Amino acid sequence: MLRVGLTGGIGAGKSTVANRLAEHGAVLVDSDRIAREVVEPGTEGLEQLVAGFGAEILAADGSLDRPALAAKAFADDDSRHRLNAIVHPLVGARTGELMAAARPDAIIVHDIPLLVENGLATAYHLVVVVDAPVEVRVRRLVSARGMAEADARARIRAQASTEQRRAVADVWLDNGGAEDAVLAEVDALWADRLVPFEANVRLRRPRPPMAPKIAGYDLTWPAQAERVLARVRAAAGPLARRADHIGSTAVPGLPAKNILDLQLTVSTMDDADALGELLADAGFPRLAGDWADDAQDGDGLWPKRMHVSADPKRPVNLHVRAEETPAWRLALLFRDYLRANPDERDDYRDVKLRLAEAHAADPGFEAYADEKQEWVNGVFARAEKWAAATGWTP
């Protein structure tokens, strides 16, 4: 099962995208519709609202008079909290029920306008944001939905900003142009990413190993890593001591394979094992078999658990290590040393580019990894001197 969070500002095109995904076979969970359903006549929700705000919030036919409720509920913070305390748990429970009822191989698309505002990004395997320029959205809301312009602008202003949405977006769908264009992107997203991602999560199947193709440094790597780290922390819960972006993509200016290396710190390897299934459910199956070749550090002296991303479009190596072990410390030292010493970083760049070219045709990539490790081992001694001189700690 795969959980996709779909969000975007009002009028951006969430429903348009959600409907297309549903045509492909996604199970749609629509939070606006759930919010209406839980306060329909005859529901416990409507009864609680009447108890909290009085019978004046009912229309003559016994249904909820939304403007009347809004006048009372948005009058002050207390009232707003009272409204949320009634509605949020009911919406949450119903959402949970619908998700639990989906088949084990479902791709669930949760259409949730307030995903960003409510800080829910880490609950999904993937967050998809639909966006369009404000003026385009206003035009659509006025012409297609008959909203008053001032109302449309006020609604847009009250929502999260484009920057806030960008920070959580794994997929950014620009719907500022023709509808056909965004629908074509949605079709590709479904076929190339969501379908294989779902199968990988369900079958605990890592994406296949990647050739050592070195890409130029990508300025968005830190933000991408932060998004994945937030998900890892949420999945690991209290067993996570910390989680860090490590490896080449964590060193500004260093070209690297487009694989994010992350280190999840736990207290003991028993904790690492206890996390195995939780991480797999969250989209990071544990690596076993052929290419788990570096499941041990330091010739097996310092065990680690290797998990990798099941997302075919966002390669991640997640190294789960126990706190204060030598390999754990070295991962952080290596990163910080290269960040602080551009000459070493550039040396490393040259070594990587040379080795990648020399071993491009090598099917297992082991020779590339082994020879690179020789350079890395050499740098450790210099990094340790630097750590002693500067008082560096992990």
**Residues interacting with ligand ADP, by CB under 6 A?**
8, 10-16, 140, 144-145, 175, 178-179, 182
In angstroms, what is the minimal distance from the CB of 99 to ligand ADP? 20
- DSSP string for residues in 174-191: E-SS-HHHHHHHHHHHII
Burial class (CB in 10 A: 0-12, 13-18, 19+), 290: exposed
88 or 145: CB nearest ligand ADP: 145
In angstroms, what CA-CA distances link 190 with 77, 227, 392? 41, 21, 46
In angstroms, what is the minimal distance from the CB of 176 to ligand ADP? 7
Residue 303 contacts by C-beta under 8 Å, 6 or more apart in sequence?
Answer: 269, 295, 296, 297
In angstroms, what is the minimal distance from the CB of 160 to ligand ADP? 13
**Residue 316 parent element (H or E):** strand 316-322
Q: How would you classify the pairing of strands 27-30 and 107-111?
A: parallel
In angstroms, what is the minimal distance from the CB of 163 to ligand ADP? 18
100 or 144: CB nearest ligand ADP: 144
104 or 146: CB nearest ligand ADP: 146
145 or 385: CB nearest ligand ADP: 145
Q: What gap in Å lies between CA 350 and CA 255, rounded to an integer?
A: 9
Are 315 and 309 in contact by the 8 Å Cβ rule? The answer is yes
23 or 179: CB nearest ligand ADP: 179
| Tokens encoding 2 | 């795969």
Q: How would you classify the pairing of strands 260-266 and 126-131?
A: unpaired
In angstroms, what is the minimal distance from the CB of 269 to ligand ADP? 46
118 or 296: CB nearest ligand ADP: 118
Burial class (CB in 10 A: 0-12, 13-18, 19+), 116: buried
In angstroms, what is the minimal distance from the CB of 136 to ligand ADP? 8
112 or 332: CB nearest ligand ADP: 112
Backbone φ, ψ for residue 10 (5° rounding): -60, 135
In angstroms, what is the minimal distance from the CB of 36 to ligand ADP? 15
In angstroms, what CA-CA distances link 168 with 66, 130, 194, 234? 31, 12, 17, 14
5 or 8: CB nearest ligand ADP: 8
CA atoms within 13 A on the CB side of 292: 17
In angstroms, what is the minimal distance from the CB of 357 to ligand ADP? 44
CA 356-309-224 angle, 5° bins: 80
